[in-house]
């Protein structure tokens, strides 16, 4: 599994590479590799269980997810401060 994780972290523009990059600074190389290996194992399990094709999320997936969480958190903080904000959904 670790060898698969090494290979996955060397491919550019993939979800697994961006996951590795986000973890390596906090956890170190070895723990980040184990985490990526775990992601591969979980993905393989659900691919085989549900009989679906692998869907690559892309390198930007984690950044978009983080950005959405930050927006939600800041809106909550503003609401707690008493600021009333009208939110428009952007498609």
The residue among 62, 81, 80 whose CA lies nearest residue 70 is 62
In this structure, of 12-26, 40-54, 73-87, the range with the lowest mean pLDDT score is 73-87
- Widest CA span in the chain: 52
When pLDDT is cut at 50, 70 and 90, the band that residue 59 belongs to is: confident
Measure the CA–CA gap between 60 and 77, rounded to whole angstroms: 26
Q: Which residue has the tokens 């390596």?
A: 24
**Predicted structure pTM score:** 0.70
First to last CA, the chain: 39
């Amino acid at each position: 599994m670790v060898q698969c994780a090494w290979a996955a972290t060397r491919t550019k523009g993939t979800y697994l590479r961006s996951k590795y990059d986000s973890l390596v600074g906090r956890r170190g190389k070895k723990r980040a590799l184990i985490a990526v290996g775990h992601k591969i194992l979980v993905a393989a399990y659900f691919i085989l269980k549900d009989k679906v094709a692998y869907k690559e999320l892309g390198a930007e997936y984690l950044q978009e997810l983080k950005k959405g969480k930050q927006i939600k958190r800041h809106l909550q903080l503003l609401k707690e401060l008493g600021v009333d904000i009208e939110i428009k959904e952007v498609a």
